[in-house]
Structure 1
């Protein structure tokens, strides 16, 4: 079996290089940022949590107009500018020593990150034919995980040193990684901006596209799986099972390596909306099975048995993750008008910051408070959302096909 991580030469490979560069910095940042803000900046955990929640909430809203800006001004320049803005916000973290300074910097950081994600999707759409986009995105996801793993290892060195200088070096690395990302993006071919709006068309048409909003909502529910391995499962292992604590790290590595090696292969069958619906539907079944396996790991028994069940649950979880990712990429692009990719991707991408802000509260409430029934309820919710995606996509597809000439499918509220 041949495993190919690098995408084909040309624009896809340069997009992957940009993805890899900033993900290395982000990996180091994610590992070290909390301790830096507490030990160096002098913030409390409550202040950090509040600031991040506000920032990602604002960022999720800002992603739509920034995506629309990429449509109007051209996604290459917009993406590069937002990468530079992200680098600037990271450098600002080096200077903050108060909550208000932190809040300002993290607001810029989250807003630029959400806008960068939307504009980079618009850039990809302008450079890659529709039938190849899901495959290229799978390559980018593999590069993302590889970069995060490398960055996390570098961040681990800073944690081992546990000095202010080491933490500052991590933030400088993250800022430089985004500057490199901007430089790589500027070397891509320019994608021309879209023409002006038609008479009477709203500036942010996606906000009136109810079928697309339903698809986005269901996708956001499915993305609640994101904090599982970083928060819910580690706490579950420590508080509810007899498995060894080191298994937390092993499961995270398992997930990262699996996505890096197999995401491209899992995305290969997804090339249209029918295959995307099937991928999401199957992902829901696999995710429900994963939740059930995680649940029974808390039953009385030997530690090795609990560990085996947790590994099995993690394997099912990453399988579901890769299927759902491939299906959602295809759906998000296929249902967006060709001349509104930026704003539509900005809206579709709100599921990620929503999962980052609401996911921890939802998952800890379900799993740690309710225990085994909470796992089963989570699996049922994700299964229902995955099966609901099929009818929602068909409705949005029908509305898109009747939405007018020129590829505009923004459905006006009636």
Structure 2
């Protein structure tokens, strides 16, 4: 499929900041503890607080993108993220660290929502999931390159090498902002007209005693969509597996060599880079999205069972079992990503995509906030029963996505027929 200039710019912007993020992710923990001098427990607490703030900021910043225009909002938030990353190099005490971490997480969460709203305004609905798959592949390619740069800094081990990584990450967000600035502007006048109709309809619905998705009060009143976002958060608990839980599991519960940690990371990023677009090709609507989510739930459940089998075996057997588990996990990850992307757009009102994506995106921050603590206890401390419980929970969430998303779609149709959402308004081109 040929890509349009806006799609290419979106991909380049994704590649730019993902390279910086890859370097940041591989070095930040050691920088904060070994260079900045913060205790590991305080680093964990500060990041937890920061991502908690980020999860709360996603919706209002997404709403800002809807009302003020997603392109300008995304540019400003990309610059704010770069400033926060650069500020980490000045942190020496816990309170400044928490403040900077909160600013970083809020800017990242808002940027993700604004970019989704920008994508929705520039890309036809039928092409969005395919483009998101390409962007995900680009993201993983950038992360792999950035991880290599971070590895060089880890090998050097000096303060200047670590600071250079943070500078690269900050600059990558400046480049991202410049690329986003080159995109066509999604007209604010159209958004404002739609918002005005939505507000008027909301007032009318309150006066008549009816309720629905367009009622004044924001995305949190759309309970079916909120439940879909909650179920997606359960699926996103896979996020800490590769970066935190599997390294701890490998070194404490198996006889596999420690270098396998980096090998599994490279394997994951390579598979997503090569096959995410293909995995998303058949996901074009609500039914196909829920089908791929169900299949991915079974694969993820199998991956958890395989990971559990790696404990107490010989080093070579453990290595083979872990590689098999990682392959199953990345296949499930690609399917879950494609299915959730489709649902997040299909179930959101056209005039409030940024706000709705802000809520949907809080799943990432919640998983990053609660996932490390929850999964470390569940998997590393509890062992095999914990893996089986996690796999069962993800399978249940995958199956629940079907009826819940259909209910959300029906609720949206009812609201539109009552005039509660501006689906009948033609947006100027």
Kept after mapping to 2: 8 A contact 1:280/1:323: yes
> Counterpart of 1:388?
400
More helix by share: 2
Kept after mapping to 2: 8 A contact 1:277/1:390: yes
- Partner Cα separation in structure 2 for residue 256 and residue 322 of structure 1: 11
> Counterpart of 1:166?
161
Task: Write out per-residue CA displacement over residues 2-56 of structure 1, whole angstroms, 9 at most, x where no aligned residue.
Answer: xx9xx71311110000000011111111111122222332211122111111110
Q: 2:124 aligns with which of 124, 129, 135?
A: 129
> Counterpart of 1:273?
286
- Structure 1 window deviating more from structure 2 (321-330 vs 247-256): it is 247-256
The number of aligned residues is 404
Q: Map 1:129-278 to 2 at 5 A.
A: 129-193=124-188, 194-195=191-192, 196-197=195-196, 198-199=199-200, 200=203, 204-278=217-291
Shift of 1:155: 1.0
Shift of 1:404: 2.2
Task: Write out per-residue CA displacement over residues 156-177 of structure 1, whole angstroms, 9 at most, x where no aligned residue.
Answer: 1111111111111111111110
> Counterpart of 1:326?
338
1:403 to 2:398 alignment? no
> Counterpart of 1:378?
390
Shift of 1:409: 8.3
Q: 1:367 aligns with which of 379, 392, 396?
A: 379
CA 204–31 in structure 1, closer or farther in 2 if over 3 Å, else same:
farther
1:296 to 2:309 alignment? yes
- Partner Cα separation in structure 2 for residue 367 and residue 298 of structure 1: 11
CA 202–55 in structure 1, closer or farther in 2 if over 3 Å, else same:
farther
Kept after mapping to 2: 8 A contact 1:336/1:409: no
- Partner Cα separation in structure 2 for residue 297 and residue 78 of structure 1: 46
Shift of 1:388: 0.5
1:43 to 2:38 alignment? yes
Q: 2:77 aligns with which of 78, 82, 101?
A: 82
- Partner Cα separation in structure 2 for residue 353 and residue 309 of structure 1: 30
Task: Write out per-residue CA displacement over residues 135-189 of structure 1, whole angstroms, 9 at most, x where no aligned residue.
Answer: 0000100111011111111111111111111111111111110000000000000
Kept after mapping to 2: 8 A contact 1:68/1:204: no
CA 149–407 in structure 1, closer or farther in 2 if over 3 Å, else same:
farther
1:308 to 2:303 alignment? no
Kept after mapping to 2: 8 A contact 1:402/1:409: no
> Counterpart of 2:209?
none
- Partner Cα separation in structure 2 for residue 95 and residue 247 of structure 1: 34
Q: Map 1:353-364 to 2 at 5 A.
A: 353-364=365-376
Q: Map 1:53-72 to 2 at 5 A.
A: 53-72=48-67
Kept after mapping to 2: 8 A contact 1:31/1:155: yes
Q: Structure 1: where are the runs of 5+ without partners? A: none
- Partner Cα separation in structure 2 for residue 212 and residue 409 of structure 1: 17
Kept after mapping to 2: 8 A contact 1:75/1:119: yes
TM-score by length of 1: 0.95
Kept after mapping to 2: 8 A contact 1:65/1:204: no
**Secondary structure at 1:242 match in 2:** coil
- Partner Cα separation in structure 1 for residue 114 and residue 216 of structure 2: 17
Shift of 1:90: 1.2
Shift of 1:393: 0.4
1:105 to 2:118 alignment? no
Shift of 1:242: 2.2
The CA RMSD over aligned residues, in Å, is 1.6
Post-superposition, which runs of at least 4 consecutive aligned residues in structure 1 deviate over 4 A?
201-204
Kept after mapping to 1: 8 A contact 2:33/2:39: yes
Q: Structure 2: where are the runs of 5+ without partners? A: 204-213, 424-429
- Partner Cα separation in structure 1 for residue 153 and residue 314 of structure 2: 36
Task: Write out per-residue CA displacement over residues 90-143 of structure 1, whole angstroms, 9 at most, x where no aligned residue.
Answer: 121122221111111111111000000000000000000000000000010011
Kept after mapping to 2: 8 A contact 1:59/1:110: yes
Shift of 1:250: 1.2
